[in-house]
Amino acid sequence: MRYETVIGLEVHVELSTKSKAFCSCKNEFGSEVNTNCCPVCLGYPGALPVLNKKVVEYAVKAGLALNCDISLYSKTDRKNYFYPDLPKAYQISQDDMPICKNGFIEIEVDEEIKKIGITRIHIEEDAGKLLHGAGDEDYSLVDFNRAGVPLIEIVSEPDIRSPEEARLYLEKLKSILEYLEISDCKMQEGSLRCDANISLRPIDEEKFGVKSEIKNMNSMKSLERALEFEVKRQTEILLQGEEVAPETRRWDDAKSITIAMRAKDKTYDYRNFPEADLVPIVLEPEWIKEIKTNLPELPDFKRNRFVKQYGIPKYDASVLTLSKDLSVFFERCAKDYKNPKAVSNWVMGEVLRILKEREQEISNIKFPPEYLRELIDLIDEGLLNSSAAKLVFEEMFDTGKEPKTLLDKLGLKQISDEDAIGELVNEVLANNQESVEAYKNGKSNALKYLVGQAMKISKGKANPKMINSMLLERLED
Amino acid sequence: MNLYDLTLHEVHEKILEKEISAKDLLDSVFDRIDKVEDKVNSFITITKEKAHEAANKIDKKIAQGETIGSLMGIPMAVKDNICTKDVKTTCGSKMLENFIPPYNAEAYERLENAGAIMIGKTNMDELGMGSSTENSYYKVTRNPWNLDMVSGGSSGGSAAAVAAGEAFYALGTDTGGSIRQPASFCGIVGMKPSYGAVSRYGAVAYASSLEQVGVLTKDVYDCAIILNYLYGHDPKDSTSLNIVHDNFIEGLKKDIKGLKIGIPKEYYGTGIDDEVKNSIKTALKAFESLGAHIEETGLAYSEYSLPVYYIIALSEASSNFARLDGIRYGYNANDYKDLDDMYTKSRSQGLGEEVKNRILLGTHSLIDKNYKTHYDKAIRVRRLIKEDFDKSFQKYDLLVIPAYPTAAFEIGGKIKDEAAMYMGDLCTVPVNVAGVPAMTVPCGYNSKGLPIGMQLVGKHMGEATILRAAYAYENNASYTKLKPKL
């Protein structure tokens, strides 16, 4: 029996508004414990929430960018449950009337465009954070800085058919949200959190199988790996003729397995009902139109523009536009430059390599993109060979200094002066009589060796083309 | 005549004329408290020191020639579910015995900013749940007219304090009659404003969609003065309306010729005491003699108000009071095994029986299985009740109904019969369900000498009409106004 994988993703995104969703406390990651809180977000008696307009604006932005219908009338509801990190003992969320519905994201699978449906986007608030006593210490403390931080939850249709597609969907979603500048989208810090519902069904079967909900995936890679593990696990269960248990499972990244957390058959009754302390969210069509007009260029559009405008391959354009910061970096570098493909190669090659190696973000890069263009210019002018250019690049990355300055400082400027090259060639010929003889006896390989010697003496700075031609000249004399 | 016997506007005149100081007033009120508080039990907390500090400041300001506002230097009381900065706000509950809010409720803050002097926090049924102030964790408030009788509730402490001369006026909250019924029992004026007219910020929410902060005063004029301060938009409360209102005092003295008053028959049926009916009948004659037209009418959906009210109020309460978990503030049972045990013990020990009953009922209405038949149905019927009132107000300027089927009942008497007590809510609850304003105005005494009140109900944001009619009535009432003998 062969099975088809069915995946749906629920993504929670912390919005990067200045203040929290229902009070004026700062929405800030990493502040001292319990400093960004007030009677409202601490759930004090009598305190009342007031919806932050920016939260609505950001949610509408997301909805428009994800091709959703925007509800002119929506409302907030209370989701009731007891937990120490939930100060009011209910979460303000949207139950049956979300602010956005019926959208989609396009991903590219095997060079084909595939649409993944988005069921809904709704506004809600985050909870605080529990800090448990270490080891035997029998206590827990609560940090309420995160309580009331605005979230949007983006729920996909069960349209995803493989772990890879799931990753592509999440990458694209993250990319779009970054372009909109409505969230930091940092999975490690929890500003982008993804839960996955996954089930298998026999191919050609319409009915969905029993699903597991997978939590705790902290990177794109762990999402894909967790789902791959889950496909294997569920396949094995089904092949043995058994049934998958409906449960919530936690991905353990270190052990590379999912672990059962709790059964899903006993679902908690959240007693959702309308939040009477807030009024319905009523939007003006004009306001939505205004937001739509002011949406920034989104990744797909930019990718196509890059292909057209810079003549770079679609693959390059996809890689460059997935991250907004990277696309801006590339564009500042490639703008009005004669060889955009060279820029693309550098950005996709050296720039991404060094960022990964140093575990840095493109947004924190020290040098302006224009410096990279100068560096490529220096190579084109023959002032720098490619291996020296890489050294300059690393130095530029570390110091943020201009390539020309670094060239002098590192003494890496290519030697293209005829007299200097002449002297170098003389020295090599004088010290390598055996190779000279060998060449004259028809061993053309000897030339390569001689060029190499010249480069070695010049510490790689000599212009190899000039050395080559000058050596030939002398040897043929 | 003692100072504490006067009304707010009367003592204001004396302060204006520099006849008396804020300190004189405070001394008079505290003398009175010393004399009667042991009998009446109006207060949970008395803030004597703070009050004296505030009065000193006011007297200095007056000495320096500052303009004297209507509330400046005049002692008042605040129901203990209205948050007062740095002053215990217990809500009549053990759960909040040591809760000291770091903020003022907006309604109180507006009065404080105007120079009001708070003398204490008044007793109430725990978390507002009850209509006799017998459900307080702390004490039972007694009716100043007869100490064997209840003061009404849940704002019983506020009503008793004003009636007993312990405060010139008091803030209360009204979720289903909690201002109007005790005002009626204690023979004073009590106003439940239109939903959205007064900020709820800092008033501990029981049923968010039903309640308002309001005021209990000695007469209608005083009520108009306070409403001028309380009304108006508060950005901290999303349900507070951004509507400009007229100065309530300026409208008071206009006549009521041609005013159309509807008498909805559903509110005068079985269960309404004959003495209550007769008092209101006499009052209606007074209205007629002032030029108003009286006509019998109907509010057909009123009978459904009680189930609608209880489902909505208790559902909201079950959620609103879930925050009382003993973690950030309030009572925490020290001896527990785990998290669930902590929640269970803290709430079981910190909350009273009536509160637990109501939270359970509210929870029951919201669970998946019952949501459609309980909560959802209630909010749909609520719409019909509202429409019923709206239709009525297309025809009438005011509706007049009893404030309660009887005068004050005996302490320990009626509370055992919960169903009977709930029936009493029929007079007050529909007003909250519809979100319209209503005022209790005293209209006589029964044979035992206990006050009887009637309610003037207006259309949404129609407070000015209510005040005008009530003021006209008060000045032309055909009975002799008495004071409780304490």
B303: closest CA of chain A, how far (Å): 24
Tell me the DSSP string of A57-104.
HHHHHHHHHTTPEEPSEE--EEEE---TT-TTSEEEE--SS-SEEEEE
Identity of the amino acid at A237: I
Tokens 């004396």 locate to B14
Give the C-alpha separation, A364 to A323, whole Å.
Answer: 14
B481 has a pLDDT exceeding 70: yes
Instruction: Yes or no: say if B227 and B193 are a contact pair by the CB < 8 Å rule.
Output: yes
**Average pLDDT of every residue of chain B:** 95
Position B415 pLDDT exceeds 70: no
Q: What pLDDT is stored for residue B417 in this prediction?
A: 59
Closest C-alpha among A460, A461, A435, A462 to residue A447: A435
Read off the pLDDT band of A59 (50, 70, 90): very high
Q: Is the pLDDT of residue B419 over 70?
A: no
Burial of residue A206 (number of CB atoms within 10 Å: 0-12, 13-18, 19+) = exposed
Tell me, yes or no, if B83 comes closer than 8 A to chain A by beta carbon. yes
Q: How many Å apart are CA B21 and CA B18, to the nearest integer?
A: 7
Extract the runs of DSSP E, i.e. beta strands, from A206-346.
212-217, 247-252, 257-263, 273-274, 281-282
What single-letter amino acid sits at B268? Y
* B360 Rama sector, left if φ>0, alpha if ψ -120 to 50, beta otherwise: alpha
A82 with B325: Cβ contact below 8 A: yes
By DSSP bridging, strand B293-297 and strand B260-264 are parallel
Is B45 at the interface with chain A, CB within 8 A? no
**Pairing outcome for strands A273-274 and A77-80:** antiparallel
CA-to-CA distance for A270 and A34, rounded, in angstroms? 27
Which residues in chain B have Cβ-Cβ distances shorter than 8 Å to A143? Answer: none
Matching residue, tokens 């040591």? B98
| Exposed e or buried b per residue across B148-183, where buried means at least 16 C-beta atoms within 10 angstroms of its C-beta | ebbbbbbbbbbbbbbbbbbbbbbbbbbbbbbbbbbb
Phi, psi of B468 (to 5 degrees): -65, -45
Average pLDDT over residues A420-443: 85
CA dist B207 to A18, A426, B331, Å? 31, 98, 22
Residue A264 scores a pLDDT above 80: no
B91 touches chain A (CB under 8 A): yes
* Predicted TM-score (pTM) of this structure: 0.91
- Tell me the pLDDT tens digit for each residue of B114-165: 999 999 999 999 999 999 999 999 999 999 999 999 999 999 999 999 999 9
- Stronger pLDDT, A336 or A17, i.e. the higher one: A17
Average pLDDT over residues B230-235: 96
Q: CB A118: neighbour CB atoms within 10 A?
A: 26
CA distance B272 to B131: 17
Helix axes A369-380, A386-399, angle to 10 degrees: 160
The full length of chain A comes to 477
CA distances, A288 to each of A230, A293, A468, B325 (Å)? 41, 9, 66, 41
- pLDDT single digits (tens) A180-205: 999 999 998 899 999 999 999 999 99
Taking the CA of residue A289 as centre, how many other CA atoms within 13 Å lie in the half-sphere pointing to its CB? 3
Show which residues of B are catalytic: 79, 154, 178
pLDDT category, B424, cuts 50, 70, 90?
confident
What are A141-170's pLDDT values in tens digits?
Answer: 999 999 999 999 999 999 999 999 999 999
Amino acid at A437: E
pLDDT at B37: 98
Residue in chain B closest to A141 (alpha carbons) equals: B327
Angle at A354 between CA A352 and CA A355, to 5 degrees: 65
pLDDT digits (tens, 9 = 90+) for A25-54: 999 998 999 999 999 999 999 999 999 999
pLDDT tens track for A99-132:
999 999 999 998 899 999 999 999 999 999 999 8
Nearest residue on chain B to A50, alpha-carbon basis: B238
Domains and their CATH numbers in chain A: 3-288 (no CATH), 418-476 (1.10.10.410)
Q: For residue B323, list chain A residues with Cβ-Cβ distance below 8 A.
A: 43, 45, 87-89
- Stated as kind and residue range, the H or E segment containing B371 is helix B368-371
Q: Does an H or E element contain A141, and which?
A: strand A140-143
Q: Which helix (H) or strand (E) holds A125?
A: strand A112-125
**Is there a contact between B235 and A50 if contact means CB atoms under 8 Å apart?**
yes
CB within 8 Å of chain A, chain B residues 52-71? none
CB atoms A273 and B322 under 8 Å: no
Which whole number is the average pLDDT over B82-99? 98
Q: Which of B200, B323, B339 sits opposite A87 (nearest CB)?
A: B323
**The predicted structure's pLDDT at residue B421:** 60
Tell me the ipTM for this assembly. 0.96
- Cβ pair A279, B239 in contact under 8 A: yes
Beta bridge partners of B445: B451
Contacts of A44 in chain B (CB under 8 A): 101-103, 328-329
pLDDT band at A439 (very low <50, low <70, confident <90, very high): confident
Using a pLDDT cut of 70, give the percent of chain B over it. Answer: 98
Q: Which residue has the tokens 């988005």?
A: A118
Q: Return residues 104-143 of A near B (CB < 8 Å).
A: 142
Across the interface, which of B99, B319, B371 has its CB nearest the CB of A80? B319
> Does residue B420 surpass a pLDDT of 60?
no
% of chain A residues with pLDDT over 70: 99
Element spanning A6, H or E: strand A3-14
Domains of chain B by start residue, with CATH: 3-299+387-474 (3.90.1300.10)
Mutate which: B328, B337, B338, B372, vs A, most A CBs within 10 A: B328
Angle at CA of residue B322, ends B316 and B324, nearest 5°: 130
| One-letter amino acid for residue B56 of the chain | N
What is the per-residue DSSP string for B317-349?
HHHHGGG-SSSSSS---S--SSHHHHHHHHHHH
Phi/psi at A123 (5° precision): -90, 140
B376 to chain A, minimum CA–CA distance in Å? 9
Q: Which of residues 85-104 of A touch B (CB under 8 A)?
A: 87-90
Q: Which residue of A has its CA nearest to B326?
A: A84
- B416, pLDDT greater than 70: no
Q: Would the CB atoms of B204 and A43 count as touching at under 8 Å?
A: no
- Selecting from A43, A44, A276 the residue whose C-beta is nearest the C-beta of B208 gives A276
Residue-by-residue DSSP string for B181-221: HHHHHHTSEEEEPPTTTB--TTBPPSSTTT-EEEEEESSHH
Handedness of CA A434, A439, A442, A445 (dihedral sign): positive
Average pLDDT of chain A to the nearest whole number: 92
Distance, CA of A453 to CA of A446 (rounded, Å): 11
pLDDT for the residue numbered B184:
98
Which residue in the set B204, B329, B363 is minimally distant from A271, CB to CB? B363
Q: Give CA–CA dist B466/B457, Å, rounded.
A: 7
The token duo for B435 is 């979100």
Give pLDDT tens digits for A294-318.
999 999 999 999 999 999 999 999 9
- State the pLDDT at residue A446: 84
